[in-house]
Structures are given as structure tokens and as C-alpha cells.
Amino acid sequence: MVPHSRRIFALLPTLVALAASPALGAVPQVDQAFLDEERIWVDTVASGQAAAVSNAVDAAEALRALLGHRAEALTRLNLTSPLTTADGLETQDLYDDMIIRAANRVIQQAKTLDLPEPTGDDAIYFASMMEAPPELGGNPVGFMTLGMVALGVRANHDLADDPAITVEASAQLTLRIAAAAVNNYLEAHVDELARYNANQFRHNAVIMRLRCPKDDGTYRLSNQKNKLRNGNQFSTIYFLKCNICYEEVELEYPVAYVTRLQEVSEPQDLKKEPEAARPAGGVDP
Ligand SMILES: [Zn+2]
């Protein structure tokens, strides 16, 4: 595997060459008041619910309550910062990250309880009653992860009066599905490089969800450039075009990871490539 630093060094000349580009993108602005208010709810109500979990049924109920609150919160956010705008979507994605971490508290609390494993028959029955899950891939965006958690929660709700499965087994399987989805997300955001990669994917998911304010049209990506601002701030700019009125808009995302690497690498002579500690396995003689 190529070391991260080498890969970024290789990227730097391209970024610098584009520095003279005149385009000025619009950086999405988050609704910080909404996030601050919701942070208080997560740190008090949601973590209280997570700490009180003493069995699988409690845990599944805590996940259901979390998703219920999220639906209400996003409805509220949509009024002030519509979820079809870059500002609204940026806020939603940060909010969903918060909710996924709150769900993880429920999952971690349930793990300490040493719950019995559901049987294979129960797992098959539960899966057969659940809506087919979408492919999440290696870089899930928060709403995709929470969509997967919601599929489990919904199946659990539908199976509440089903004599073919106990409420405990159904709740355990809800937890198992939530844990798989949440772990996948957390692994994709485990460090700065992972978050950098996840964000590149997320930007495309923002473009998919954007709608033209004039005609509700979807957008297509017409161009994408990297840009250097103020000597050391790297950004990715997406040039979009409405599919109905063809109006062009730009979206700019600062890339903090590359900016920081540039700062760290400044004292070094970039012409000297770091020596590999040992030859790449199977490639060098
Ligand atoms: Zn339009």
C-alpha cells in the first residue's frame, strides 16, 4: 500500500497548478444553532435513554426513540434550512453523524449486558420480514446508515405481535442490524484520511439530494476542480448545472485534511521521496 503522505505529495502539484483558477465557490454554511440545540438533547435525553438500557427490548426501543426524534428534528430543520439546499444538507449530514454516535451508545450499552445470541432460524425469519437493505458500500453517508437502522426498527415493530418470533429475539436482531450499520459508518470515519475519503463520496451524495430553488430540478456535475486559497487552504469546487433551467451553481468544500498535510510537509524537501523501509512484497526482486 502506498503511504498516505506519498499519495498526498503526488497530489500537491495538481492542486497548486489549479491555484490560479478564478472561480469562487459557495461554501455550505451549517445551521449551528440547530446543531447546538440538538447536541444538548443528545447529551441529556438520548444518553440517559442509552444508559438506562437493561435488555434488548429496551435497546431496540431506545433506537426507535432516537429515529423518531431525528424525524421530528429534520422536519424542523427543513423549515429554516431546507434539506434540498447545500446548507441544509451540510447541517443534516453533521446532525446524522451525531445521531449515529448516539445510536452507538445504545449498542455499546447493550453489549455490556451479555445478551443471548439469536438463533439462526430467528435471524432468517427476521430478515425475511425486513425490507431488502440497500448496498451501503465502504463510504456510507449518515442518512444511508440510519436508513439501514430504520429498516431493522420497522421490522421489529411489525413483528411485535407475531407468534413466530419472541420480542426478545426480534429486538436482538434489530440491535444486530443497527450494530453492523453503525460499525461500518464508524470505520469509514475512523481517522482523518478515512474522513477525507468518506467526504469525497458524501459530496456526491449532496449533489444527488440538491434541488434547484426555481424549478425543483436535479443537478448534474459539469466540472470539478481543486483550488488553493490564501496560499494554504485547499478546496474542492463542484460546478453544477440544473437539469431543467440549466442554471449553473458552484459548491465549494474546504479540504482540511490536505490543508493540514501541506502545513506539516512545508519544512520538508518534497523532491526527496521517503525511502521504503523494505521492498514492496512480490514486486521488487
Ligand atoms: Zn433549475
- State in Å: Cα 136 to ligand 1 middle: 30
Total number of residues shown for the chain? 285
- State in Å: Cα 35 to ligand 1 middle: 29
Give the residue from 155, 285, 138 showing the smallest Cα distance to 202. 138
Higher-scoring residue by pLDDT: 93, 137: 93
- State in Å: Cα 117 to ligand 1 middle: 52
Structural fold of domain 4-28+211-265? SH3 type barrels. (2.30.30)
Over residues 209-248, the pLDDT tens digits come to 999 999 999 999 999 999 887 777 889 999 999 999 999 9
Report pLDDT for 120: 95
- State in Å: Cα 280 to ligand 1 middle: 51
- State in Å: Cα 85 to ligand 1 middle: 13
Report pLDDT for 25: 59
Over residues 57-85, the pLDDT tens digits come to 999 999 999 999 999 999 999 999 999 99
Over residues 132-160, the pLDDT tens digits come to 988 888 899 999 999 999 999 999 999 99
> Which residues make up the CATH 2.30.30 domain(s) of the chain?
4-28+211-265
Report pLDDT for 261: 67
Beta-carbon contacts of 179 under 8 Å, excluding residues fewer than 6 positions away, are 107
